[in-house]
Amino acid sequence: MARKPDIEQSRSLEPAMRGIGSTPMGRGGGGGGTGGPFGGMFDAAAKPKDAKMTLRRLMAFLGPHVSSLTLVFVLVLVSSGLSLLASRMIGIAIDRYIVPGDLAGLARHVAWLVLVYLVANGSAWLQTFIMAGVSQRVVKELRRQLFAHIQRLPMTYFDGRTRGEIMSRLANDVETVSQTLSTSATLVFSSVVTVVGALAAMLALSPLMALVTLVSVPLATVLARRIASHSRGMFRQRQQHLGRLNGLIEESVTGHRVVQAYGQETNILREFAAVNDRLRQAGTAAETWSGMVRPLMTVVSSISFGALAVMGGLLVLRGRMRIGRIASFMQYNKQFSGPVNALATQFNTLQSAIAGLERVYEVLDEAPETEDQPGAVSLENVAGDVQFQDVIFGYRPDKMVLRDVSLHAEPGRTIAIVGPTGAGKTTLVNLLMRFYDVGKGSIALDGHDVRSVTRDSLRHAIGVVLQDTYLFAESVRDNIRYGRLDASEEEIIAAAKLTGADSFIQRLPGGYATVLTEEGANLSQGQRQLLSITRAVLANPRVLILDEATSSVDTLTELKVQKAMLKLMKGRTSFVIAHRLSTIRSADEIVFMDDGRIVERGNHQQLLDLKGRYASLYYSQFHREEMVRQAATRAESATMVMRPLEA
């Protein structure tokens, strides 16, 4: 079974089309994040956000695990309570057994003390074990929701972001949250319990000494909060630069052939070094600021501990306290300041996790594709009648791409759309697929406005074959079956024979079981295109979109692909976008677009007789393409003649 679409495919037509199409037909993506890969380190988007709100939203994911969290909290009470008890038992051992020299009593007391420590540490291990399971389940759900939400985002979201930036949020940011939940959540619980318990014990032993301890708390709190407010923004910047670096890596790896072909290794290394250096600066700043917490806390606690030692010694010398109580108090002081230092140790992890959560929630807060209208119609028995009526559309309100476009494609007819780059050809079919909604006017399929039908039924009725095919790192069989997951082996082979793909598939080492490399790199461009067409044949859509399906193959391969396309188009309403005008001469109607308008329309001969822009463009291509085509035909004929002679 073919894999479900990943983040890359969420940008493409395939997820929305059940995999019939190939690669993105929307506008190209821009740089990730704010300011592109080389935006300023301290840009506005990197300012600290509301950490409390972020953590409050995380609580919603923890809600289903209340019973496990309750057990963890009970275990925290047990382990922390026993640790506090052990500190008092040490003081009792000194006053009752060590000072009087009662070795037998001391042995019994130590045995109880060992038992207390064993139970306390056992409880601590068990709470860690339970919390690890809870954190992994929470992160699993967070990752699932994020991935599912990405699949529902509109094309406009992907237009301005790199794949690496999106993948960084799904992988790096979520993993940061995972590590923090599993290691820091119980630390926070136990720290609060231990601090409260130790403070209560110190007040019971010596209110005066407890007051000295409490003097250090406001100072430590002010320092920690100031550092936290500053370092959180830096951790957020680090996550942003990491996403940009991932985007650059993904692009350079995917396009490594282009990089090497144009000798751009030096430039790509220079770009990588620049982004990597920004990440280094952001990471250094974040770690430096967060790293200040622990030393400052240590200094404050050390000063407090020294003051308590002097005060305790004076109280013992004056006979106001016994040495065992002083020993217990000093233990409680360590347990009081210890959690603060422990939190300081985890400080950078906590800040990084909050920054990661904020970036995850930024994606989750993005508005998904608009829901189907109430009462939306589910298309059935589609005939393929497509009507564009006075369509106006722009990706931005201030720049229109289509202007008053009207076009009617009757069932079974082939409409060819030609024109210069940027004329709005691909935008036209993007609107038909409802990757974007029209600004004004309407598009109807079988008399139903496409906005009034369910997206699922609309996209099931339409198939797409693009210039750049996308193939999964799965078997040939599964890549074809992606067009219709319930297809049988016989149906897959029949579709391949119909398009002519069966002949080269049978020559592959494993036939239909041959596993392709990523994006089908172990096949030629023509073979990948034939597999894409076979996939569409298997899906059996009523409306077909062919967007430059032959422009990236050689002329000889183009002949094979065209034969497969003609079989695919038979009986279907087809929209063919082409720059090679020789491929669309047999279309029922050809529309020539420029600057978002249809400027000429008619069949091939009518447009030639018109002697307008289509005719001028056609004749400029004709002589060159005809010579190449004749040479390719002669080469193919010679090959067919030689085969029986060789036999």
Q: Which residues of 499-509 are buried (b: 16+ CB within 10 A; e: fewer)?
A: bbbbebbeebe
Question: What number is the average pLDDT over the span 363-369?
Answer: 85
What per-residue confidence (pLDDT) applies to 320? 75
Chain-centre distance of CA 177, in angstroms? 15
What per-residue confidence (pLDDT) applies to 631? 61
3-state SS track over 443-474: EEECCEEHHHECHHHHHHCEEEEECCCCCCCC
448 pairs with which residues across the strands? 445
Confidence of residue 444 (pLDDT cuts 50, 70, 90): very high
What backbone torsions phi and psi does residue 464 show, to the nearest 5 degrees? Answer: -135, 135
Per the structure block, which two tokens stand in for 11?
Answer: 């940008």
CA distances from 207 to 60, 199, 201, 526 (A): 41, 10, 10, 85
Per the structure block, which two tokens stand in for 615?
Answer: 């005719």
What backbone torsions phi and psi does residue 440 show, to the nearest 5 degrees? Answer: -135, 160
CB of 450 closer than 8 Å to CB of 398: no
**pLDDT at residue 579 greater than cutoff 80:** no
442 pairs with which residues across the strands? 389
pLDDT tens readout for residues 135-172: 888 888 888 888 888 888 887 788 777 777 788 787 77
CB of 34 closer than 8 Å to CB of 43: yes
Q: What's the first-to-final CA gap in the chain, in angstroms?
A: 40
CB of 418 closer than 8 Å to CB of 592: yes
What backbone torsions phi and psi does residue 574 show, to the nearest 5 degrees? Answer: -125, 140
Tokens 């496409």 sit on residue: 450
Chain-centre distance of CA 544, in angstroms? 30
CB of 397 closer than 8 Å to CB of 557: no
What per-residue confidence (pLDDT) applies to 385? 92
Confidence of residue 348 (pLDDT cuts 50, 70, 90): low
Q: Which residues of 30-42 are buried (b: 16+ CB within 10 A; e: fewer)?
A: ebbbebebebebe
DSSP state of 379: P
Tokens 């399906």 sit on residue: 549
Question: What number is the average pLDDT over the span 599-625?
Answer: 84
Higher per-residue pLDDT: 34 or 455: 455
**pLDDT at residue 119 greater than cutoff 90:** yes
- Return the percentage of the chain with pLDDT > 70, whole number: 79
Is 611 in a helix, a strand, or coil?
A: coil
Number of separate helices (H) and strands (E) present in the chain: 22, 10
CA distances from 390 to 428, 432, 449 (A): 12, 14, 13
* Single-letter amino acid, residue 427: T
pLDDT tens readout for residues 2-33: 333 333 333 333 333 333 333 333 333 333 33
> Strands across the sheet with 448-449, in order?
402-409, 386-393, 440-445, 448-449
Pairing type for strands 402-409 and 386-393 reads antiparallel
What per-residue confidence (pLDDT) applies to 386? 93
pLDDT tens readout for residues 556-566: 666 666 777 77
